[in-house]
Amino acid sequence: MERSYLLDAFDSGWISSRGEYIGHSEKILASVAGTPYAAVCSNGTTALHLALLAIGIAPGDEVIIPSLTYIATLNALYYVGATPIIVDVLDDTWCIDPTAVESVITARTKAIIAVDLYGQPADYTALAQVAKQHGLRLIADAAESIAGSLHGVPTGALADVSVFSFFGNKVITSGEGGAVTTASPDIDRLVRQLRNQGNHPTQRYVHDMIGYNYRMTNLSAAILTAQLERIDGLVSERRRVVDTYTSLIGGSNAFRLQEVSPGAVPTPWMISVRITGLDSARRDEVIQRLGEVGIESRPVFPLIQTMPFVPKEHRRSTPVAELISQEGISLPTFPQLSDDTIQMIVDALHRTLAQI
Ligand SMILES: *Cc1c(COP(=O)(O)O)cnc(C)c1O
């Protein structure tokens, strides 16, 4: 289906950012996310940037984010000149700790970004309460959690504004791509205007704000439409993969999986495990040895505040995230993995651990 939609878009001549697949994909995405509005854009990072701009985050505003996330979450904050306030994560779900969030709120705090790490929904119930109490905006970086939910509410509808990524390694892909979902018509209108050079909605060549070219092409949207149309199958295949891993390593003392909080349905994006007692040097050795037998694994994300460009005053100590990051590896998670291959990977992991 991806191929035929893509060729259809190509043959239609609408290969740039106008064309019918843009609207098709947005319509399906809104129904997947459970929001009245969904706007697609060029990637997940630009989606984060648009979301921050649309809720009015400005230079000097403080925004609270977890230390354990992909670097794009932090980069988007620097794009708008905000000050990141980096806090720790929870030991069980690996997502932002709502108590830690509450402890760093100041008069300059404007928003919280929750990240659904490796597909695990953050604790939006607690976060929404903190946000409401202190008059803050809640943003969801749901780049990794499409089709996940919390207490029956899909990720995409759990915050004031949510962001998805459709990069090639995500559950749903358009090559490169992203989206912003929201229940607010004002946020949606601003996102649409900002992604399209700040174009006035009706008057041509009138731009009433500094805008960006963050549009998605109709070619990407054609692929995205096909992917979204078969999202249930794509997700259930991955869920089988994650369930097989979980049943093979879940009972072992050597490993700790990310825990699923009550009421949460995580997205089976990338199975990630902590190897109890590992340090990062031995973790890297495990990854290397698995690589030698043809198994590609990855370290869990390093803490964002350890990147060299992060100013000293933004670096905070986040001991829980540090331990997860040093003990954690992500294992191959793609829909085509057979149960036998997963068994083989887990056997190789056990053998490697016995060797180091
Ligand atoms: C993938 C990802 C992004 C960025 O998405 P791109 O489409 O690669 O720009 C942002 N945040 C998280 C948590 C991600 O995993």
Each residue of 16-72: pLDDT tens digit? 999 999 999 999 999 999 999 999 999 999 999 999 999 999 999 999 999 999 999
Report how far residue 1's alpha carbon sits from residue 230's, in angstroms, rounded to the nearest whole number: 9
CA angle in degrees (0–180, nearest 5) for 30-159-164: 50
pLDDT at 243 exceeding the cut of 90: yes
**Considering only CA atoms, which residue is closest to atom 7 of ligand 1?**
44
How many separate helices (H) and strands (E) can be counted in the chain? Answer: 12, 14
Query: Probe ligand 1: pick from 167, 214, 223, 333, max atoms within 8 Å of CB?
Result: 167
- For residue 164, which of 209, 78, 228 has the smallest C-alpha distance? 228
What six digits make up the tokens of 154? 């899909």
pTM flag (> 0.95):
yes
Q: How far is the CA of 246 from the centre of ligand 1 (A)?
A: 25
pLDDT at 189 exceeding the cut of 90: yes
State how beta strands 62-66 and 83-87 pair. Answer: parallel
Residue 322: phi, psi to the nearest 5?
Answer: -60, -45
First to last CA, the chain: 46
pLDDT band at 253 (very low <50, low <70, confident <90, very high): confident
Q: How far is CA 304 from the centre of its chain?
A: 15
User: What kind and span of H or E run contains 215?
Assistant: none
Cα atoms found within 13 Å of the Cα of residue 68, Cβ hemisphere only: 28
The letter for the amino acid at 98 is: P
What six digits make up the tokens of 278? 């590992």
Note the pLDDT tens digit of each residue in 276-307: 999 989 999 999 999 999 999 999 999 999 99
- For residue 169, which of 242, 270, 258 has the smallest C-alpha distance? 270
Percentage of the chain beyond pLDDT 90 is: 96
Q: Is the CB of 115 under 6 A from ligand 1?
A: yes
Predicted pLDDT of residue 251? 83
Q: How far is the CA of 44 from the centre of ligand 1 (A)?
A: 5
Domains of the chain and CATH, by start: 2-230 (3.40.640.10), 232-355 (3.90.1150.10)
Relative to the CA of 69, which ligand 1 atom is closest? 13
SS3 (DSSP) at 60: coil
What six digits make up the tokens of 70? 């992909």
